[in-house]
Amino acid sequence: MKTKEKLNIITSVLLIGTLIFLGITWWVNGLDDTWFYAVCGIIVLTSFISIFSKRNKQINH
């Protein structure tokens, strides 16, 4: 496996794990709306950044 592939897998696993963890905690004890939106914003930002960097790498090579 290449390092890039490992990094992609790690990032996707982290994103999915964070979403599952968020869903469980939010369902169990109801997070504050501000917390929920802040974390969701961070997740969306990180996923957009990873997609954007992948596209840049594809263009460069």
In tens, the pLDDT along 22-49 reads: 778 777 776 666 777 787 788 888 888 8
pTM comes to: 0.43
Total number of domains constituting the chain: 1
Q: Give the pLDDT of residue 1.
A: 64
Residue 47: domain span:
3-60
The span from the CA of 55 to the CA of 42, in Å, is 20
Give how far Cα 45 sits from Cα of 14, 33, 51, Å.
14, 18, 10
The span from the CA of 46 to the CA of 27, in Å, is 23
